[in-house]
Structure 1
Amino acid sequence: MAFGIFIHRFDSIYADTPAERYQFPIQYLQRAKACVGDWIVYYEPRKVAGTKGYYAVAKVGRVIADPAVPGMYLALIEPGTYLDFATPVPFADETGPIERGVLNEAGRISGRAQAAVRSLSPADFNRIVAAGLADENPLLPRTDMAAAGHVVREEREPFIFDEARERVSAIVSRVVRDRVFRRIVLRAYDERCAITGLKLINGGGRAEVEAAHIRPVEANGPDIVSNGLALSGTAHWMFDRGLIGLDDDMQIMVSRQANDPDSIRSVINATGRILMPPREADRPHLQFVRWHREHCFKH
């Protein structure tokens, strides 16, 4: 087992779904196999406009031949392991590349940096994940949630770990994953409720909006921003109970089983569609929206 880097861009020509699978050609087969049972870091190249750099981690469960494309292979991501970073990490800072393994003996960037699949040293993994989980401006929890005894989902803990393997324990922690997920979803939606369009900040400077999974964690929904919505407490409650849902065009649907549909429609923003993040890759993915519609929405 070994840590690794998988290069992925949101407009990839490959049949990639970062939270589920990574497609690659045969020349990377042995490198990908070395990562089975271990963690990889996703990296978006610097040449991509608005690149996210190192932006997520995931655990590789298996590597198989792609049944649909001869000569291609799939690294299958272990369910529930994908996690977007709270803070995307740039390729380099004032001291040079954060991934030291791309440097040659002369201290210059080698051709290895172009490899779509490459190994990652424990020290580089540790350094990247530490920077990705760090959050200099964490979103504060809602005071009513703390008062209700729900602080476990929002509590602020220092990300201080000594070794790469200890980072892994942080990555799999539900407390950490919930906090990071909240951060990335609220940032994508500018702390604004996607249903009502309201952006409310309480007297303590806290956003009165929550991060909702479209496909719940309990149903193998991943902690990826495209599986999230920023919702007010009431909208979140209605969405989880299937009183509201989304069609494929992101129009907001109101369940026929709602006992007061007119009141629900009155709080929906004037467009009738959810307000979506400006970055296309951050917007709700159809597979999650359809899952919610088929399994949660009350038709």
Structure 2
Amino acid sequence: MIEEEEQRGFGERPVTGFEPSLESRVAFHRFALVVYDFRCAVSGLQFPATEGALHDRLEVVPIHPREAEGPLEISNVLVLESRIAHAFAKGWICVDDGYRVVIADRAELGDELSGQVIERRALFLPSDPLFRPASRHFQFHRMVVARYSRG
């Protein structure tokens, strides 16, 4: 006889999560741009708002990448200018626990971005603390992305 408490071999595996739909990703992307007021969190450069969800100069970048099990939530993204987004994804730029910029690899950053990416500058974040990044995601970025992405 099978006990009700016995779950091995019967039933389905627990659901661990769903991939968000394209519509929800687009809405999330647009929401992040609006919350950051179309401003790059690292350089502070502000761009004109656009009608669509995408922006030609700004990217919504996960801090703890989705492919590394990072959550799709506002506390896990930064809005960054496209070239700065690339440097952040490569780990050339990090953020410390005080929400200040750390340049991990100045040589890779190059002269073009050096004027926009200022070491120890505080991030330009949303005014509402509810929409600001969580420090645990920056810790992951420093420990994994920045450490292992640089060559």
TM-score, with normalisation over the residues of structure 1? 0.40
Q: Following the alignment from structure 2 to structure 1, what is the Cα–Cα distance between the partners of residues 93 and 120?
A: 15
Deviates more, 1:224-233 or 1:207-216: 207-216
Contact in 2 for aligned 1:254/1:265 (Cα 8 Å) = no
Taking structure 1 as reference, are residues 260 and 228 closer, same or farther at Cα in structure 2, changes over 3 Å only?
closer
Taking structure 1 as reference, are residues 226 and 295 closer, same or farther at Cα in structure 2, changes over 3 Å only?
same
Q: Give the corresponding residue for 1:239.
A: 88
In angstroms, what is the RMSD of aligned CA positions?
2.9
Determine which of 7, 20, 29 is the counterpart of 1:182.
29
- What one-letter code is carried by the residue in structure 2 that aligns with 1:235? I
Q: Superposition pairs for residues 195-214 of structure 1, below 5 Å?
A: 195-201=42-48, 207=55, 208-214=57-63
| Higher RCO, 1 vs 2 (CA within 8 Å, ≥6 residues apart) | 2
Give the 3-state SS of the residue equivalent to 1:172 in structure 2: coil
- What one-letter code is carried by the residue in structure 2 that aligns with 1:254? I
Give the 3-state SS of the residue equivalent to 2:107 in structure 1: coil
Contact in 1 for aligned 2:99/2:122 (Cα 8 Å) = yes
Q: Following the alignment from structure 1 to structure 2, what is the Cα–Cα distance between the partners of residues 227 and 204?
A: 24
Return the index of the structure with the highest Cα Rg.
1
Q: Superposition pairs for residues 79-94 of structure 1, below 5 Å?
A: 79=17, 81=18
Gaps of 5+ in 2: 1-11
More strand by share: 1
Q: Superposition pairs for residues 22-41 of structure 1, below 5 Å?
A: none
Give yes or no for the alignment of 1:293 onto 2:107: no
Report the count of equivalent residues: 134
Contact in 1 for aligned 2:40/2:46 (Cα 8 Å) = yes
Contact in 1 for aligned 2:76/2:134 (Cα 8 Å) = yes
Stretches (4+) displaced over 4 A? 202-206, 260-263
Query: Sequence identity of aligned pairs in percent?
Result: 26
Q: Give the corresponding residue for 1:50.
A: none
Give the 3-state SS of the residue equivalent to 1:259 in structure 2: helix
Give the 3-state SS of the residue equivalent to 2:146 in structure 1: coil
Q: Superposition pairs for residues 18-167 of structure 1, below 5 Å?
A: 78-79=16-17, 81=18
Q: Following the alignment from structure 2 to structure 1, what is the Cα–Cα distance between the partners of residues 51 and 77?
A: 25
Taking structure 1 as reference, are residues 269 and 187 closer, same or farther at Cα in structure 2, changes over 3 Å only?
farther
